[in-house]
């Protein structure tokens, strides 16, 4: 189990991390998500023992994690930290890089382990290629495979899929998580990409300016969220007053409303005005003017200036999502 108790850290005078506490059980995946500069990498470095906490304590299976003031080599033997500079040997082959952390005995076993990992990161055909001849995304995948060669108990990943194209990204995420679960590896993933963690993390820690905004399951954070900062990490969203959605209510309280929770229907007289519209693959994304507000919506077909439209909310959906009691609203 990884446990942080009220950890504070500062590079200079101001705290970069304030009062961070959480626990992760063995084999669980924690996603750390937040805007650039919120302290994700700093938190990974503290967990790895590369930095000294100013206050608070960190434990791995009840043993204190010490920083550089107390030990020469960062981290514990069973920890692996994959940073954003992959730390590979450029002039040696992919296979040699992956087996480097393994003992020199049992060469055949090592090669078979490396091939198993090459399959996880979809680089089977590159085993004899020198690392310097790989693309940035391929090198990132080698770094992941190398970190897993000697199964770590705790794996720390910093933006692990940032260089990888969309085609491989989804496949890699799925294969990697399956592998981590099969080997019971505890994992902390720092990212600003919701798709790295929403489908896979057991819990998400949301950071803002070094402070914890939320710690919960991805489903609860997405569905029960009323915080616009969190919603912004998940994509475009709207922030309506309850009375805008249910005119019979006089509630000023605001709800996060995702574009898919709004419907645009044809009308006799126009109630909205299309300001901007983009094709985004599965649907068209638009910014519209509705009453005094700009609203993000998505539609399966483009909105045309010749037609009149109105906006309706998927009210039952919102009511259920927020556990709202309509009688109490009005």
Ligand X SMILES: Nc1ncnc2c1ncn2[C@@H]1O[C@H](COP(=O)(O)OP(=O)(O)OP(=O)(O)O)[C@@H](O)[C@H]1O
* Crossing angle for the helix pair 107-120 and 136-149, to the nearest 10 degrees: 130
DSSP annotation of 126 reads G
Measured in degrees and rounded to the nearest 5, phi and psi for residue 128 equal -100, 5
Query: Segment contacting ligand X (CB under 6 A): 33-41, 59-67, 172-180, 264-272?
Result: 33-41
Q: Which is nearer to ligand X, 192 or 251 (CB)?
A: 192
Q: DSSP for 30-52, please give it.
A: EEEE-STTSSHHHHHHHHHTSS-
Question: What's CA 12's distance to the chain center, in Å?
Answer: 28
Find the binder of ligand X among 40, 169, 173, 285 (CB under 6 A): 40
Shortest distance (Å) from residue 162 CB to ligand X? 9
CA distances 172 to 44, 117, 156, 308, 326, Å, are: 22, 11, 16, 44, 44
Residues 5, 41, 93, 227: which binds ligand X (CB under 6 A)? 41
Choice from 4, 24, 38, 231 touching ligand X (CB under 6 A): 38
- Tell me how far, at minimum, the Cβ of 40 lies from ligand X, in Å: 4
Residues 178-197 within binding reach of ligand X (CB under 6 A): 192
Q: Indicate whether 39 belongs to the interface with ligand X (CB under 6 A).
A: yes
Name which of 115 and 208 has its Cβ closer to ligand X: 208
Contact segment (CB under 6 A) with ligand X among 31-39, 65-73, 264-272, 282-290 equals 31-39
Query: Does residue number 110 form part of the binding site for ligand X (CB under 6 A)?
Result: no
Report in angstroms the alpha-carbon separations of 198 from 58, 117, 205, 211, 298. 25, 24, 11, 20, 21
CA nearest neighbour of 185 among 144, 216, 214: 144
The nearer residue to ligand X, 11 or 260, going by C-beta atoms, is 11
Nearest approach, Cβ of 44 to ligand X (angstroms)?
8
Asked if residue 140 binds ligand X (CB under 6 A), the reply is no
In the complex with ligand X, which residue's Cβ is closer, 36 or 292? 36
The one among 11, 70, 91, 278 contacting ligand X by CB under 6 A: 11
Q: How far apart are CA 226 and CA 211, in angstroms?
A: 18
Whether 117 and 148 have beta carbons less than 8 Å apart is answered as yes
Q: Burial of 188 by CB count in 10 Å (0-12 exposed, 13-18 middle, 19+ buried)?
A: buried
Asked if 68 touches ligand X (CB under 6 A), the answer is no
In the complex, least distance from residue 210 CB atom to ligand X, rounded to whole angstroms: 7
Closest to ligand X by CB, 11 or 70: 11
* Residue 94 to residue 149: CA distance in whole angstroms: 12
- Rounded to whole angstroms, how far apart are CA atoms 162 and 78? 25
Residue 191 and residue 247: Cα distance in Å, rounded?
A: 39
Does residue 10 touch ligand X according to CB under 6 A?
no
The answer to the question of residue 31 lying near ligand X (CB under 6 A) is no
| Count of residues that bind ligand X according to CB under 6 A | 11
42 binds ligand X, rule: CB under 6 A: yes
Which residues of this protein are in contact with ligand X, per CB under 6 A?
11, 16, 34, 36-42, 192
């Amino acid at each position: 189990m990884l446990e942080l108790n009220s950890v504070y850290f500062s590079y200079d005078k101001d705290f970069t991390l304030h009062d961070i506490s959480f626990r992760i059980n063995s084999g669980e995946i924690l996603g750390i998500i937040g805007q650039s500069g919120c302290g994700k990498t700093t938190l990974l470095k503290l967990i790895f023992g590369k930095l000294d906490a100013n206050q608070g304590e960190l434990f791995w299976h009840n043993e204190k994690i010490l920083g550089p003031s107390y030990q020469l080599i960062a981290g514990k033997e069973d920890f692996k930290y994959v940073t954003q500079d992959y730390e590979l040997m450029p002039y040696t082959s992919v296979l040699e890089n992956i087996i480097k952390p393994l003992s020199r005995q049992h060469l055949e076993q090592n090669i078979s382990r490396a091939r198993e990992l090459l399959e996880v990161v979809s680089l089977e055909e590159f085993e004899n290629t020198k690392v310097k001849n790989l693309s940035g995304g391929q090198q990132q995948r080698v770094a992941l495979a190398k970190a897993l060669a000697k199964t770590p108990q705790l794996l720390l990943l910093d933006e692990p899929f940032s260089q990888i194209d969309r085609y491989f990204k989804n496949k890699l995420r799925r294969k990697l998580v399956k592998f981590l679960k099969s080997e019971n590896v505890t994992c902390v993933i720092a990212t600003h990409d919701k798709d790295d963690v929403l489908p896979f993390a057991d819990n998400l820690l949301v950071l803002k300016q070094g402070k914890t905004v939320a710690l919960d399951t991805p489903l609860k954070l997405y569905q029960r969220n009323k915080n616009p900062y969190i919603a912004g990490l998940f994509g475009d969203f709207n922030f309506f007053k309850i009375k805008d959605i249910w005119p019979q209510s006089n509630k000023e309280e605001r709800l996060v409303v995702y574009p898919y929770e709004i419907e645009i229907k044809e009308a006799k007289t126009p109630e909205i005005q299309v300001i901007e519209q983009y094709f985004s693959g599965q649907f068209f994304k638009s910014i519209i003017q509705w009453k005094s507000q700009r609203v993000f919506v998505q539609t399966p077909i483009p909105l045309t200036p010749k037609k009149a439209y109105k906006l309706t909310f998927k009210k039952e959906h919102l009511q259920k999502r927020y556990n709202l009691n309509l009688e109490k609203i009005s």
